[in-house]
Structures are given as C-alpha cells and as structure tokens.
A and B are shown apart, each in its own frame.
Chain A
Amino acid sequence: MHDVIHISIWALVGAAGMVVVAAIVSRILRLRLEKDLLVATLRAFVQLMVVGYILDWIFDVNRWFLVSAWIILMIGIASYNAMRRQTAHFPGLLPRFGLAIILSSAFSMAIGVGLIIHPSPFWNPQYLIPIGGMIIGNSMTAAALSINRLTSEMKTGRGAVEAALSLGASRHIATLPAMRASVKAGMLHIITNTMVVGLVHLPGMMTGQIVGGVDPGEAVRYQIIIMYILMTSNTLSALTSVMLIRGLYFNKRDQLVIPE
C-alpha cells in the first residue's frame, strides 16, 4: 500500500459535482429525482466517512472484541435489511434471518478466512472485516431473494401445497417443491455473477486491491477465493433461511395462513 494517491476533501467535493449531471437529466426529463439524488449523495458521504473513522479506530486499537462487535453489527443490519426487502411481513422473520446469516457467514468465514487465507491472528481486521462484510452482504441478498420467492411460491402454488396437505402431507412435505425453488432462486444470483466475473465487471474487492497497489495477478487470486466462498455462504444462507422460515406460513394445524 505505498503508491496510493491521497484523496483530499476537495477531490470529494469535486466528485460530488458529478452528481449535478444526474440532477440535470432528472430536471429536464421531470423525473423528480433531484431530492432523492441529494439525499443519496449526502447519505453516502456521511455513512462512509463515519464508517471510515470507526474502521480507522478499530484497525488502530486492533483488538478481537472490537472486530467481533463490528461483524455482529453488520450481521444485525444485514438481517434487518433482508426483512425489509420482503414483500410480505410477518412475525418471526427477523430472528430467523439473523440466525441464517450468522450460521452461513460464520461457517464461511471460518473456512474461507481461517483455513484458506489464514491470516494471523484469525481476526486480523485487515482481512476479516472486508471479507466478512462481503460474505454477510451476499448472505443477506441470498436470504432475502429466497424468502421472497418462498412467499410468492406459497401464493401462486397455494393449490398444490393445499392439495398435498389434503392428502395427509405435513407442512414440510407439502412445501418441498416450494423450498427447492426458493433455495435455487437464492443460489442462482451468485452463480450467474460468478460466471461472468472479470468479463463484464471487475468485482469491488479486486478493483480496490489493484488501486491499492496490489498486482492484478495477486488480486485475482483473492477474488477467486472470495467467489468460491460466496457460493458456499449464499447456498447455506438460502437453505437455512428457507428451512427456518417455511414453517411460519402455517398455523398449528398445518393450515396455510400466510400470505393472507
């Protein structure tokens, strides 16, 4: 990390000027997006500056409990976001998203960071925070996608689920096809991304490493590991969230009561 150009506050203000182009387009086409653009611009600035200061501090102090606290905070925000992205809301979603994201990302961080990249100590924030963040973010997307799919399967496939119940099936057997479709929906997103990686766009982490002065050949190796880890964490996240949540659509008598 030697030859990185320092970004001054004036460079940031200059970049914000780029947003003016978007604002002009919005004004000419009367898209009424000016306010949203302003809010997004300010939020990105404030959020990222705050995160930058906190991370600087965590990297400086360099203690395992601060790193853990940051990871836990990310998991909490990810679970909340997965819940907010649902088309149907019902009680019990948040803790189950939390558990699914914890299980899938803990497993993936342990194998991916602990065993494969193997920094010492394991919790070294330079590795665990960015890679953990990517794993958690992807687990969130997979969980949110698969549960949205599960809800729509329960709606459009209600007839088949109830036909199975009518034949004496338990809620678990009756939802097997819906479960498979939902886990698949959560997995497909990362598989598609992995197939085109490097061809269409350079992933964020690789870009960052290259700008940070790492040889592209080295950055690519990291990216390969990350993509493989993400395929696992996405799969686990989709699977566990579907397993934990599919029972919530039913009442105690195995009657399908959600979505209403």
Chain B
Amino acid sequence: MHHSKILELSGVGVRKRRSREDEYSWILRGLDLTVFAGERLALIGDSGSGKTTLLRVLADLEPIREGEILFNNTPVRDLNPSDYRRKVGLVQQTPALFDVDVEYNLQFAPKLENKEFSREELISLLAKVGLGEKLLGAKVETLSVGQAMRVAIARTLSMAPSVLLMDEPTSALDPLSSHKILELVKNLSREMAMTAVLVLHDMEFAKNGADRVALLHDGRIAACTGSKEFFSNPPTDLAKRFAEGLSRGGFDA
C-alpha cells in the first residue's frame, strides 16, 4: 500500500460499565490499527468483539482511556471535535434520522456552517444514494428500512467527509437491498476518493469489495491483511474460521 496513513491508532483502550454500580471492563485494549488514505477496510469479528465500539472510537463518540489516535499525523485530542467529525463521518447501524423530513436531514450539516444546499444539490445528493427527488419532502417515518439507510448515508455524505465509517450497513436489509447498498458504498468511495471503514458480516463483500480486512478479537486486531490474501491464505486459525465461513455461504458474525 503506497498511500499515506490517514488514521493511526496505537495502544487504544476503552473501558465501560453498564451502570454506576457496575465494575468497569475493558472493551478494547492495546489496539493498534492503521487506515490508509483512499482504501476500503473491512472490519470483521464475532458479535461482541468490539467492532461497533472501535467504529465509535474512530468517530470520536467514545472516550478512550489509553492510547492515541492520529488523524493525518495530528493527535485527534488536539483537534476540535466538530472539525474532526465533519471529516470522519459515521453511518450508524440503525439510521437515527432526525424526526422531520428527508430534506431537513440533508440540510442539517450544511446549516451548521451557515450554508444551505440548493434544490439541485439536494437532488444530486439523493441521486448519489440512488433515491429520487420525490423523497425530498417525505417524512422520515414513511421511509422503508433501505430508504432510511440510504438517507442516512446521504446525510453523512453531505459533509463530503474524507473518511466514511459504516456499521453493518446491511444488517436490517434483505439480501437484494444489501447487495445494492454495498455496491453503492463501493462505487461512492471509488468516485469520491473516500476512505471507508466498514463493519461487515458479509464475507463475500469483504473479499470482493474491500482492499484489506481487519479481524477483531478480544478487544484487539487479531489479523489484518489484504483481502485476497485473508481469504486465500488466512493468517491465523481464527481468520481461517471466518474465511471458511465464506465457502459455507456465510455465517452470523
């Protein structure tokens, strides 16, 4: 990989507790990971292995107890949170759209900077995620799950982020819409030269749609290689289990 490092995590640790009476436990610990500019990185791992937490760390929504994160070689803690988050956009697993109409959701980020999209810009933003202009005035509660996910993606794209983070974008979708969304993400990241970190349970897409695969286990990166190599020649036993899951037609991660 000849690209420059856009995100670099070293020794990152996150601990959480379920309530004030509960004990803390480490969710991530001693985690190292590098994300290169322009690549599509797939994050995989068993359920509960910390994929969502890691994505939230990258989105600057989760406080870290240890370690450091560099964004273009600058420590994230030295950056203004809003500025950083505008450059590293997160699409959550369940799209939490704002409770008005689609247009409000798309105008939210520009309005924070006292800008506003023209109608043409809104239409082209919707077109990017494969939606027609008729949806602009639609109330969010009338959208299907797939449409809501597309609007959530468009909402994040409205900031033109340099990094797009997505948490299992297809977990709530039927196979056909999943396939469409994944193709969309692949094309978008290519066209907009956007770096993408995608939490995936679809190994087929991890193999064909991602440049590299990072396997999360016990709060650390257990393996991280190019995706072709990961599936043809898995570096560890655990990686093998995931790669073989592919040939069995995928399994629930």
Residues on A facing B (Cβ under 8 Å): 89-90, 157, 159-160, 162-170, 173, 177, 251, 253-257, 259-260
CB pair A170 B82 closer than 8 Å: yes
The 10 A-B residue pairs whose C-beta atoms are closest, nearest first, are A159-B96, A168-B86, A168-B82, A167-B109, A160-B96, A166-B90, A163-B96, A254-B81, A253-B81, A168-B85
CB pair B85 A166 closer than 8 Å: yes
A161 to B, closest residue via Cβ = B96
**Which of A164, A254, A256 interacts with B108 by CB under 8 Å?**
A164
CB pair A260 B19 closer than 8 Å: yes
A90 to B, closest residue via Cβ = B20
Shortest distance between the CB of A211 and any CB in chain B (Å):
47
Question: Is residue B1 contacting chain A, with contact meaning CB distance below 8 A?
Answer: no
Shortest distance between the CB of A185 and any CB in chain B (Å):
16
CB pair A160 B17 closer than 8 Å: no
Question: Hey, which chain A residues are within 8 Å of B63, CB to CB?
Answer: 251, 253, 255, 257
Question: Is residue B46 contacting chain A, with contact meaning CB distance below 8 A?
Answer: no
**Known A177-B99, A255-B60, A255-B63; contact A167-B159, beta-carbon cutoff 8 A:** yes
- Whole-angstrom CA separation of A121 from B205 in the bound complex: 80
Question: Hey, which chain A residues are within 8 Å of B86, CB to CB?
Answer: 167-168
A169 to B, closest residue via Cβ = B112
Interface of B is mostly: loop
Shortest distance between the CB of B93 and any CB in chain A (Å):
9
Shortest distance between the CB of A53 and any CB in chain B (Å):
40
- Whole-angstrom CA separation of A81 from B158 in the bound complex: 46
Shortest distance between the CB of A173 and any CB in chain B (Å):
7
Question: Is residue B128 contacting chain A, with contact meaning CB distance below 8 A?
Answer: no
**Known A162-B61, A253-B60, A255-B62; contact A168-B96, beta-carbon cutoff 8 A:** no
CB pair A165 B85 closer than 8 Å: yes
Chain B, range 57-99, C-beta contacts under 8 Å to A: 59-63, 77, 81-83, 85-86, 89-90, 92, 94-99
**Which of B59, B60, B83, B99 interacts with A160 by CB under 8 Å?**
B99
- Whole-angstrom CA separation of A14 from B96 in the bound complex: 60
Question: Hey, which chain B residues are within 8 Å of A157, CB to CB?
Answer: 96
CB pair A166 B112 closer than 8 Å: no
Question: Hey, which chain B residues are within 8 Å of A164, CB to CB?
Answer: 98, 108
**Interchain residue pairs with CB less than 8 A apart (24):** A157-B96, A160-B98, A162-B61, A162-B96, A163-B95, A163-B152, A165-B81, A165-B85, A166-B59, A166-B61, A167-B109, A168-B113, A177-B99, A251-B63, A253-B81, A254-B81, A254-B82, A255-B62, A255-B63, A255-B81, A256-B61, A259-B19, A260-B17, A260-B20
Question: Hey, which chain A residues are within 8 Å of B95, CB to CB?
Answer: 163
CB pair A167 B89 closer than 8 Å: yes
Interface string of B158-173 (1 = CB under 8 A from A): 1100000000000000
**Known A162-B96, A168-B112; contact A89-B89, beta-carbon cutoff 8 A:** no
Question: Is residue B241 contacting chain A, with contact meaning CB distance below 8 A?
Answer: no
